[in-house]
A and B are shown apart, each in its own frame.
Chain A
Amino acid sequence: MVNLIRKDLISLKWYFLFVLGYGLVFGTIATSPYSPLLVSLLPAIMLTIFVANIELRNKSMLFVGSLPVRRRQIVLAKYLSAFVYIGIGLALAAIIYLLNEHILDQSFPLTGTAVLIASGVALLFSAIYYPLYYILGSRNSSIISFLMIFLASALAGGLNKSIDLSEVGIPSQAQLTVGLPLLGLVLFYGSYRLSLSIFSRKDIEG
């Protein structure tokens, strides 16, 4: 299991620099009130899509299928890696926060609410993404990419329009900060069961 997660992290290699670059640009230069949320959230989404694209491009599912692992482990590793990507996004946001506060001397309001909402939305994203990934398979990778760009834009756009963290009322804020991660976790688990059921009955394709 750990080896499967490790495999994805090694395969990402240079893509981490892209994520770092994104964080630095949108966290220190092109900033907005939503920067803390987006810098926490988008790395997790980007890394999820990058890993899948690397896998699809190299037809590496066939490589994974030849390894001494069970299908359940393959699916579980994919879902657990979502937490790793969320952790990377939050770590990056923390670094940008420290950079802004102590070196650049500018505001970067990284709040607990932003962290929880980012985690919840990232979980929701993975919960939608992975079943599609297993249903459509590598032969339909272009459809997955299109759907994911659409989904990521919709999520980011929706957040920008509907969530003004400085103005939401206490009940709404509580709902968002507690409800969204909880909803994300519930859907995430349901999504894992669904993906496992799909992948257990499907041929591994390149």
Chain B
Amino acid sequence: MNDSCIEVRNVTKRYSRFALEEITLNVKQGYITGLVGANGAGKSSLIKLLMGMSLPLAGEVRLFGEPLAKKEAELKERIGYVADDSHFYEHLSIHAMKSIYAPFYRKWDDRLFRRYLDRFGLSPKALIRSLSKGMKMKLALAFALSHQAELLIMDEPTAGLDPVFRRELLDILAELMLDERHTILFSTHITTDLDRVADYIAFLHQGRLVFHQSKEEIFDRYAVVRAENSLLDADVRRSFVGIRETPVGFEALTSDREEAERLFSGFARIERATLEDIMFFTAKGVPVHG
């Protein structure tokens, strides 16, 4: 049985100054996958492809085992989508916006929507233009969660949110995952969010997928090596993903922790890499590594 909720097969999408090149990605059902990458890495572009808003130049997107291009409407009914910005009608009230949104979904649950509004402190009478960015994000989340979506796709949902609501949002995602039918894909460049809730991490860099692995696999595989500069020769340099040198020594990211331990044991400190380390050194080092 296919356990992938999202299958991206060799998808290429080119813009005038940027391209997503041959992305292949399988997002597993029942898990939270974090899509991480620096600004401009292609996270939003990939999400727009998954939502059918952008059309790929080559390749195919499949959701729930079905091709998105052929069954767009049926498949999107099973998706809750939170955009990186509010695209609701600003001059309408939350109630009026709901009367637009709800009829599109057969499984719309009005009681659940009201519960989320209460929980987020949103009044149905409030005009959308009067809401702060954080409140608009909460509203988008309330809409996305109120039609029994099986897949939640969120584009930078935590960007611009205060730390309290960011934690609350992550708690909500964790709550959703108690029901194993749900799958969540969310993009972010705030790596601490992923440390808290993500099961899998997909890392995009300059339009290419660098890796897509479970968090445990990533932390087993990557390590930061800190040592004196005298240890650096051409072969050693080549073995690192990226290096930062200072007058007193260097720190470098390796994608083969075991090999690094074998080579440098006793000469260097080898520590667990954070997602931020991986993002930083990848951006500084070679464009893509295996």
- Tell me the A residues contacting B by CB distance below 8 Å: 3, 6-7, 10-11, 13-14, 54, 57-63, 65-71, 73, 201-204, 206
The interface residues of chain B lying within 8 Å CB-to-CB of A11 are 89, 91-92, 100
The interface residues of chain B lying within 8 Å CB-to-CB of A7 are 100
B89 touches A60 (CB 8 A): yes
A20 to B51, CA, bound (A): 39
Q: What DSSP secondary structure best describes chain A's contact surface?
A: helix
Interface segment out of the listed B69-77, B169-177, B201-209, B217-225: B69-77
A59 touches B87 (CB 8 A): yes
Interface segment out of the listed B52-60, B232-240, B249-257, B267-275: B52-60
A65 touches B103 (CB 8 A): no
A66 to B105, CA, bound (A): 12
B53 touches A62 (CB 8 A): yes
User: 10 new A-B pairs (CB below 8 Å) besides A11-B92, A203-B53?
Assistant: A3-B100, A11-B89, A63-B88, A65-B52, A66-B51, A68-B72, A68-B77, A68-B104, A71-B72, A203-B48
- What interface size band does chain B fall in? 20 to 34
Q: How far is the CB of A35 from chain B (nearest CB, A)?
A: 30
B85 CB within 8 Å of chain A? yes
B87 touches A58 (CB 8 A): yes
Interface residues of B in 87-108 (CB under 8 A from A): 87-92, 96, 99-101, 103-105
The interface residues of chain A lying within 8 Å CB-to-CB of B74 are 68
B104 touches A13 (CB 8 A): no
Selected A-B contacts with CB under 8 Å, 9 pairs: A10-B99, A11-B91, A54-B89, A59-B85, A60-B88, A62-B83, A68-B104, A70-B72, A204-B48
